[in-house]
Amino acid sequence: MLPQLQGGSEFAKMRVMDKTVKIRAYSGDTPSAPVAAELPKGQATADESRKVIQEQSQIIEQLRESLRIEQTRTVEMVRKKTELETRVKELSATDSRELVQKTAQFEEEKNKSLELLKTVAQLRESLKQEQAQAGEMAVKYAAQETRLKELSDVLGKISSAVAAVKAG
């Protein structure tokens, strides 16, 4: 296991374990098989054997380097994935906070609107009452004017009678 992945997420560890390296399996048909069988025959076979071992060592080194590169890529991909997940969580949290704030503002405006509607309803009722009172006052005023005219007529008759009595 890579030291960079120790303490990392299980996903990262599984990703590294999933990597397989494809190498050629040994079969009797390879050129190295006859070389291995002829080793005791002399120096030529030993040189050939060293060449085969050197080639195989180079292949092993290339495979190790390829494995290191793939592990580095895997670690980088896991790091990027973690960063993206963190960013998504941050954006979600920010969106949630904004949604809560906007919902609170909406509720506040809704409550203000309801209060204003209640005030409008109260003012309408008050206006109706004042209009009713004004109508009653107009009726009372008209009745008072009629009564005043009647009293003025009676006073005029009394004044005429008093003037007739004084004259006569």
List, as one string, the DSSP characters of 103-140.
HHHHHHHHHHHHHHHHHHHHHHHHHHHHHHHHHHHHHH
Model confidence pLDDT, tens digit, residues 86-104? 999 999 999 999 999 999 9
Average pLDDT, the chain: 82
Consecutive H or E run containing 74: helix 43-167
pLDDT tier for residue 1 given thresholds of 50, 70 and 90: very low
The closest alpha carbon to 79, from 19, 18, 11, belongs to 11
What mean pLDDT is predicted for residues 142-163?
92
Q: What is the pLDDT of residue 44?
A: 75
Model confidence pLDDT, tens digit, residues 28-47? 454 554 544 444 556 778 88
* C-alpha to C-alpha distance for 125 and 127, rounded to whole angstroms: 5
pLDDT at residue 154 is higher than 70: yes
pTM of the model: 0.40
The answer to whether 10 touches 24, Cβ cutoff 8 Å, is: no
Model confidence pLDDT, tens digit, residues 133-150? 999 999 999 999 999 999
Buried b (16+ CB within 10 A) or exposed e, 15-44: bbeeeeeeeeeeeeeeeeeebeeeeeeeee
18 against 158, higher pLDDT: 158
pLDDT tier for residue 25 given thresholds of 50, 70 and 90: low
